[in-house]
Amino acid sequence: MFTGADATRRGNLFAAPFIAFALGTTGYGVYRLVDAPPESWTLVLTVIAGVIICGPFQMHVGRSPGFPFVGAAIAMLAIRPAEESPFLGVCVWTTGLLISQAVMRRSLLHALYATGIGSASAFVFVAIQTGLTSLGLWLLPSFLVATAVYYILLLLGEFAGQWSRSTLDRGFGISAISPSRLGLIILAVAITATLMNVVDASVIPWLEQDPDASLTPFVVLLTAAAFYMLAQRARYAGIEHRLSAVVDAAVELPRETGDGLAAALQDRARSIVQAGRVELRDRAPDRGEIGAGVSLGPGAGRYLIASRKIGGAFFSREDERALDTIAHVASEATRVQNEVDILERRANSDALTGLPNYGAFQDALVGANENRPYHEGIALLFMDLDDFKKLNDNFGHRAGDELLRAVAERLRGAVGGGDFVARVGGDEFVVIFSGLLSLEQAKDSADRVVETVSRPLSLEGHRVRPVVSAGLAFSGHRELDAQTLVEDADRTMLQVKRSRHLGGSAEGSTVSISSRRSTRTNDIVERAIRENRLALAFQPIVSIDQGRIWAFEALVRYTDPEIGPISPPSLVARAKSLGLMNGLTVQVITKALDAAEEFRRLEPGIQCMTVNLELGQISETELGPFIRDAARAHPDLSLCIELNERSLRSVTDELRRDAERMQGAGVTIALDDYGSDDSSVGALVHFPMNILKIDKSLISDLGDVRQREVVKALQGFGDNLGYTVVVEGVETRAMADVMAELGVRNAQGYYFGRPIPFAPMTERIRRWGARALIDL
């Protein structure tokens, strides 16, 4: 296996002949020009200047970003500066090429190497073009052949150099070239060379009305200037692309922390500077590498190092500046994040004990409640140190502070790894127990903690045994409001404290358990879903211009025998907290489609049933397959799923594809409640849908011309895109008339019918058919 030093040595050995050739060609040209001055020094200097000006123009001929690039300076040999000696013209050309490469490249040796390959290829170019012309071949074909051979030799030399320097870049060979790009470049350069000759020999004399007129230097400089302008245009495009990438990095990097920031920094650097390898290390860049200082944490700074430009090309000064920029961005992102972390720790921790404070406790409680599986319990232990004020009075505040620190330390050692401890008041502490299976387990954990805290300790030379009043609240299911646990545990703790002061409790620390019935409603909702007890109400969706019902919206309802009706919002919220939302939706869809079959039997024109879903439920891992199967099981019906507009703000590409699968299976998609607070136009154009349901808030005051114009515009928008537009909340005859005036053709609201159960709705259809309005 070759080491980096071996690769460098091989590369130097390969480059040496070309370096010598470049020096020899340039030296010979200078010698010949001094020994035998040319007919026109102006033309000689113009050709040299033209090659230098053409230098920045580099064309990419690879299939992917990076190497290889080729220039167009060979076009400057279309008009030879020394007509009597074509090969002397190559020497002049080589002088210009060497100066150009020395300016552009970061290393003189690299410039000499590139000049050597270019000059060797240029000799072949001149030999072929001169030979073909002498055989009577036209200029354009001769330049085409010579240019093709020139670029092939140039690329072969570059590839050979890559192979000699490293085994890691050998994927860049002939297969890396795009034949179409290379062919276009050969054609463009050959045509340019031909045009230069034509303009110099024919066009200039014709324009000057003088057969002997010659402006050859002008033609050379004009051509070089054209290539230079193209080079600047490409350069500005590259700068814009690089700047865009740096800006993207400046946006992305501050979002990352720790190892994620280091990985993102290296990925961005690799992409921006087109490096085969980017790493973070302690030493400065070596020869052939570029680097920038970066600080991603406390301690000594490091270097962001880029090496091996893709394809073996050399790093430019723009690469160095870009690398330095993103390294600085990463360093600043780290510094700002560290300062934010310090501020957050100060804001969320208690200065005396180092424990989290009340604010951090509230966040932890919400997280523990919402992020647990349904059947996993949590408990809250609320503790208060008895007679803490008396201890402060007797031994001083320093002793009190020492006691608080000791209690905090004992709490840290007593709780489990998944539990949370905080100081929430002067002498008040809380513990959140998680991962519980029963109230008994919670009580055992609380007793262990209280026992640990109550062990004797020495304060200011006095032996003290802390006495704790503690209240414990247990929750076996996710709560709608976790704050109720705090209230119950606090209330229970105060009862213990009050009982002790009244002499009704034994001395020593005590844990009392809350008797709250925190999960009764949750249990009722769970039972209703699991035992298929949910009921539905149906509200008609009508065609205003036809005066007929064409769809129903199915709305979930439940009335418990003991506590009475549970409001639909509460029912849905508890189903979510219990992890039973999918079960609720499956029951609603099944019953809604069964009802729709009966409605269609009574009135064949009513074929659509809509149900409300959460956006995430359409995914393949949730209810996507069930919904499609349900739609296929009822081929004569149209199942429509209504998705709330606000939920689409978190839509992903995968969910969009899931929605398209739904449509492919014949499921109709409706965007519900559009026009409510914070509605977004993006939902209308970025998510597949068939029906747009306009929220009733947009027709709350139809005397306002702005509301009328918005409704009219949305109807026109739907018509243009083929959406069915339904206006919700139409409650009176006057509102229906206004909708008709505005061109609205579909509506839903109390004016056409309130949501009613299956039996009354069946009776309505049996009696009145699909009529939108009925006589009561």
Amino acid, single-letter form, for residue 502: L
- Do 383 and 431 touch, CB atoms closer than 8 A? yes
- Between CA 17 and CA 745 the distance in angstroms is 84
Copy the structure tokens of residue 487: 């209230």
Tell me the pLDDT tens digit for each residue of 70-93. 888 888 888 877 666 778 888 988
Amino acid, single-letter form, for residue 233: R
- Between CA 600 and CA 444 the distance in angstroms is 60
- Do 409 and 504 touch, CB atoms closer than 8 A? no
Please tell me the predicted confidence (pLDDT) of residue 1: 43
Radius of gyration of the chain (CA): 41
Please tell me the predicted confidence (pLDDT) of residue 73: 86
- Do 417 and 434 touch, CB atoms closer than 8 A? no
Kindly state the helix (H) or strand (E) to which residue 650 belongs, with its residue range: none
- Between CA 617 and CA 627 the distance in angstroms is 9
- Between CA 49 and CA 546 the distance in angstroms is 82
Residue 655 has what DSSP assignment?
H
- Between CA 413 and CA 407 the distance in angstroms is 10
Four-residue CA torsion sign, 176, 178, 183, 188: negative
Please tell me the predicted confidence (pLDDT) of residue 509: 66
CA-nearest of 43, 66, 75, 118 to 228 is 75
Please tell me the predicted confidence (pLDDT) of residue 170: 46
- Between CA 232 and CA 248 the distance in angstroms is 24
Residue 232 has what DSSP assignment?
H
- Between CA 181 and CA 158 the distance in angstroms is 17
E-assigned strands of 504-566? 510-513, 535-543, 548-560, 564-566
Task: Report cis status (omega within 30 of 0) of the bond before 68.
Answer: yes
Side-chain half-sphere of 180: how many Cα atoms within 13 Å?
1
Copy the structure tokens of residue 67: 């190497």
Copy the structure tokens of residue 739: 């909708």
Please tell me the predicted confidence (pLDDT) of residue 272: 83
Phi, psi for residue 501 in degrees, rounded to 5: -65, -30
Phi, psi for residue 621 in degrees, rounded to 5: -85, -10
3-state secondary structure of 745: coil
- Do 253 and 333 touch, CB atoms closer than 8 A? yes
- Do 105 and 114 touch, CB atoms closer than 8 A? yes
- Between CA 335 and CA 330 the distance in angstroms is 9
Amino acid, single-letter form, for residue 396: G
Copy the structure tokens of residue 470: 């503690």
Copy the structure tokens of residue 191: 């045509």
Task: For residue 608, list its beta bridge partners.
Answer: 551, 638
Phi, psi for residue 758 in degrees, rounded to 5: -60, -45
State the average pLDDT for the chain: 85
Please tell me the predicted confidence (pLDDT) of residue 776: 56
Kindly state the helix (H) or strand (E) to which residue 297 belongs, with its residue range: none
Copy the structure tokens of residue 282: 């302690």
- Between CA 274 and CA 91 the distance in angstroms is 34
Burial level of 618, CB count in 10 A (0-12/13-18/19+)? buried
Please tell me the predicted confidence (pLDDT) of residue 670: 92
What count of residues does the chain have? 776
- Do 725 and 744 touch, CB atoms closer than 8 A? yes
- The Cβ of residue 413 has, within 10 Å, a number of other Cβ atoms equal to 9
Please tell me the predicted confidence (pLDDT) of residue 311: 54
Tell me the pLDDT tens digit for each residue of 524-572. 888 899 999 999 999 999 999 999 999 999 999 999 887 678 888 878 8
Q: Tell me the DSSP string of 684-726.
A: HHHS--SEEEEPGGGGTTTTSHHHHHHHHHHHHHHHHHTPEEE
- Between CA 530 and CA 688 the distance in angstroms is 33
Tell me the pLDDT tens digit for each residue of 706-743. 889 999 999 998 898 889 999 999 999 999 999 999 99
- Do 79 and 219 touch, CB atoms closer than 8 A? yes
CA-nearest of 115, 50, 105, 35 to 81 is 50
Q: Tell me the DSSP string of 324-352.
A: HHHHHHHHHHHHHHHHHHHHHHHHHB-TT
Residues of the chain short of pLDDT 50, as ranges, are 1-4, 167-172, 505-506, 517-518
Burial level of 397, CB count in 10 A (0-12/13-18/19+)? exposed
Confidence (pTM): 0.47
- Between CA 48 and CA 67 the distance in angstroms is 26
Alpha carbon of 748 to those of 81, 297, 550: distances in Å? 86, 60, 11
- Do 166 and 308 touch, CB atoms closer than 8 A? yes
